[in-house]
Amino acid sequence: MGVVVIDGSTVRSFVADEEQFKKSVEERFAALDLNNDGVLSRSELRKAFESMRLLESHFGVDVVTPQDELTSLYDSIFEKFDTDQSGSVDLEEFRSEMKKIVLAIADGLGSCPITMALDDGDDNFLKKAADLEASKLEKKAS
């Protein structure tokens, strides 16, 4: 268990670093594409959000959401991602929606830093953003 401190600008600079963001999204996409068919199905995308815990937990604080409410929430998320309504989400669709979501998180954080508790081995976008910020600060300090 580790702790990171991030704010909106941490998250925003993570997205602004196109190469880093693209790489993170591609890694995430590949990890989520469980049957390796190059697209994310409804259930694959749901697993994605379950693993990112963007919905069930609010910055590390567990919020209990009824199961049927979650299902309709995940359905509406899927419709959002699947912009061409093909019934699956491709890498392009995934990347553009993730960008919007991460930027929305950044707006939500504003300039108010939050502390996030992370499980060991946690690999989520906010942690990546924090890592990137930390590496920049190290460079500045050295």
Q: Would the CA dihedral through 86, 54, 1, 24 be positive or negative?
A: positive
Q: Does 37 bind Ca ion (CB under 5 A)?
A: yes
Rule CB under 5 A: choose which of 29, 33, 74, 102 binds Ca ion.
33
DSSP state of 37: S
Helix, strand, coil percent values for the chain (each to nearest 5): 60, 10, 30
Q: Would the CA dihedral through 94, 83, 74, 62 be positive or negative?
A: positive
Which of these segments, 32-40, 51-59, 67-75, 130-138, binds Ca ion (CB under 5 A)? 32-40
Which of these segments, 7-15, 19-27, 29-37, 90-98, binds Ca ion (CB under 5 A)? 29-37
- How many binding residues for Ca ion (CB under 5 A)? 3
Rule CB under 5 A: choose which of 1, 19, 35, 138 binds Ca ion.
35
Which of these segments, 37-45, 53-61, 66-74, 124-132, binds Ca ion (CB under 5 A)? 37-45
Cβ 3 vs Cβ 118: under 8 Å: yes
